[in-house]
Amino acid sequence: MANEKLRAAEFEGTPKRHFYTGRRVTRARSIEDLRARAHKLMPRFVLEYLEGGSGQEATLRREREAFAEWRVMPHTLVDESNRDCSADILGRKAALPLAIAPTGLNGIFRRHGDIALAKAAAQGGVPFIQSTMSNDPMERVARIPGLRHWWQLYVFGPDEIWQELVARADKAGCEALVLTTDAQIFGQRQWDKRGRTEIGLPRIPNLLNAASHVRWLATTLSGGLPQFSNVRDFVPKDRRSFFDTANWIREQMPRSLSWGDVEKIRQRWKKPLFLKGLINLDDVERALGSGADGIILGTHGGRQADWSVSALDILPRAREIVGDDKALYMSGGIRWGSDIIKARTLGADVVLSGRAMLYGLCAYGTDGVSRALEILEAEVLNEMGQYGVPNLQSLSRDLLVPTRDLPLTEKA
Ligand SMILES: Cc1cc2nc3c(=O)[nH]c(=O)nc-3n(C[C@H](O)[C@H](O)[C@H](O)COP(=O)(O)O)c2cc1C
């Protein structure tokens, strides 16, 4: 987050602000503390994978800038004694309008990272979306008590593969299917690639750097490299090394994935179906007749198309198009409670959070993810109090003003 505009107000002189990076999870006060500790503990190649965007990282930057372009005009003299930030997600109450986003290779952040994320989601009362490229078997994740378990589908190889994954997700009790549509051609993540060999192995300086991160070695690699448990059997035996499996799967992703495939998947999957990675308003309109139950706007965390608009940028227009007919979610750039409030106000039913949760995972495992959820929930509740909004239903557009309209000179 190099952009100065986005930094906490840090005026010339003292005191110099520092983040907490120590061992006591309860002392982490913001997602930025968790991030700072993740940066302290993770080796370089892991951080490149976690933080990197594609190309010039213009999309990645936009994800945060877009939030900074909205200011709040708080209401006052509103009864704030009983604030409530719970939300309806697929007809059931969730603690927050948030789901943990699907992220692949979680085992490289922490051994059994998927299980850690899922446990924290179950404890925190929000859904967990497990990635096709996850490391823990979906059936094991599904056994976590109280979990709202969703499955994210990447289409690769022949149709039988997605058909089998969808059948397994159904049998494991997954509540919803999220079809990712924006990654059939892998993004140009140069920072990540620069540090790796052709088959994806970290280069020697990165291996040495990893070897010097003893706490990461202990918490992550003590049982050896993680496996892509859910897809490994589809991969040819000579391509099953940890680093090569991901390459092989990317090679097998059909570049021709289309609305016709959405229809085919819709026919097989009877529970709620979401399309993830839409960022063009024509596509949003097209999705209305696709049979999908919901749309997740987003840019894959700035990791695919460069120079893209962010989900927040198109949210109000997307909501106008979708109306109340379908669920409209967004992903990208959520780091603060105020981000969630802005996204809800601009039209999102639910936000997906990727890196904020992963910072917690890298920093303290399950406890860190729980802390990330607690922090966001506490921030939303506090900020709702500051903004004069007792519950999410009371959010209305007059709360927000785009910075380009400031100072307000004309009657709106
Ligand atoms: C490390 C990492 C791995 C990801 N892996 C996947 C994935 O396997 N499937 C998917 O649909 N999206 C994936 N994404 C995108 C996230 O689901 C989500 O859209 C994005 O992280 C949101 O932005 P945020 O990180 O700013 O919250 C990944 C993102 C990150 C940071």
Beta bridge partners of 129: 150
- The answer on pLDDT for 292 being more than 70 is yes
Q: What CA–CA distances, in Å, run from 330 to 278, 297, 352, 362, 396?
A: 9, 5, 6, 24, 18
Choice among 112, 149, 213, 300 that is catalytic:
300
- β 400-402/70-72 pair status: antiparallel
In a domain, 22, yes or no: no
Alpha helix positions (H), 214-322: 214-220, 242-252, 259-268, 281-288, 311-322
In a domain, 14, yes or no: no
- The closest of 3, 17, 46, 412 to 225, measured between CA atoms, is 46
Q: 3-state DSSP helix/strand/coil percent for the chain, to nearest 5?
A: 45, 10, 40
- The answer to whether 27 touches 20, Cβ cutoff 8 Å, is yes
In a domain, 288, yes or no: yes
Q: What CA–CA distances, in Å, run from 337 to 1, 300, 315, 344, 380?
A: 17, 20, 18, 11, 4
Q: What's residue 1's pLDDT?
A: 42
- Confidence class for position 297, pLDDT limits 50, 70, 90: very high
Describe the crossing of helices 281-288 and 311-322 by its angle, rounded to 10 degrees: 30
The CATH number linked to 179 is 3.20.20.70
Q: Say how far apart CA 30 and CA 10 lie, in whole Å.
A: 16
DSSP single-letter state for residue 309: P
In a domain, 2, yes or no: no
Q: Distance, CA 96 to ligand 1 centroid (Å)?
A: 19
Mean pLDDT of 161-181: 98
Query: 17 versus 228: which is more confidently predicted?
Result: 228
Q: Distance, CA 351 to ligand 1 centroid (Å)?
A: 12
Q: Residues 240, 245, 248, 254: what is their CA dihedral angle, to the nearest 10 degrees?
A: 120
Q: Say how far apart CA 334 and CA 294 lie, in whole Å.
A: 20
88 sits in which H/E element? strand 87-89
Residues with CB under 6 A from ligand 1: 49-50, 63, 101-104, 131, 133, 152, 180, 276, 298, 300-301, 331-334, 352-356
- The answer on pLDDT for 410 being more than 90 is no
Q: What's residue 412's pLDDT?
A: 54
- Confidence class for position 243, pLDDT limits 50, 70, 90: confident
Which residue's alpha carbon is at the smallest distance from atom 20 of ligand 1?
Answer: 301
In a domain, 351, yes or no: yes
Which residue's alpha carbon is at the smallest distance from atom 6 of ligand 1?
Answer: 103
Q: Distance, CA 83 to ligand 1 centroid (Å)?
A: 31
Stretch among 38-47, 193-202, 278-287 having the lowest mean pLDDT: 193-202
CA atoms within 13 A on the CB side of 167: 6
- The answer to whether 293 touches 326, Cβ cutoff 8 Å, is yes
Q: Distance, CA 354 to ligand 1 centroid (Å)?
A: 5
Nearest atom, ligand 1, residue 134 CA: 8
Q: Distance, CA 102 to ligand 1 centroid (Å)?
A: 6
- Confidence class for position 11, pLDDT limits 50, 70, 90: low
- Mean pLDDT for the chain? 94
93 sits in which H/E element? strand 92-94
Q: What's residue 196's pLDDT?
A: 83
Which residue's alpha carbon is at the smallest distance from atom 21 of ligand 1?
Answer: 354
Cα-to-chain-centroid distance, residue 149? 15
- The closest of 212, 162, 160 to 184, measured between CA atoms, is 162
Q: Distance, CA 303 to ligand 1 centroid (Å)?
A: 8
Q: State which of 65, 178, 303, 340 you would mutate to test the pocket of ligand 1, scoring each by most atoms of that ligand within 8 A of its C-beta.
A: 303
Describe the crossing of helices 44-51 and 31-41 by its angle, rounded to 10 degrees: 140
- What are the tens digits of pLDDT across the range 211-235? 999 999 999 998 889 999 999 999 9
In a domain, 90, yes or no: yes
- β 273-278/92-94 pair status: unpaired
> Structural domain of residue 263, as residue ranges?
36-403
- The answer on pLDDT for 5 being more than 80 is no
Phi, psi of 211 (to 5 degrees): -65, -25
In a domain, 88, yes or no: yes
Query: Among this protein's residues, is 300 annotated catalytic?
Result: yes
Mean pLDDT of 5-15: 60
Q: Distance, CA 53 to ligand 1 centroid (Å)?
A: 11
Which residue's alpha carbon is at the smallest distance from atom 28 of ligand 1?
Answer: 103
Q: What's residue 67's pLDDT?
A: 98
Domains in the chain, number: 1
- β 87-89/92-94 pair status: antiparallel
Mean pLDDT of 384-388: 98
In a domain, 262, yes or no: yes
- Confidence class for position 241, pLDDT limits 50, 70, 90: confident
Nearest atom, ligand 1, residue 180 CA: 11
Which residue's alpha carbon is at the smallest distance from atom 1 of ligand 1?
Answer: 50
Residue keyed to tokens 């959405």: 262
Task: Print burial letters for 135-161: b (CB count within 10 Å at least 16), e (below 16).
Answer: bbbbeebbebeebbbbbbbbbbbeeeb
Q: What's residue 2's pLDDT?
A: 44
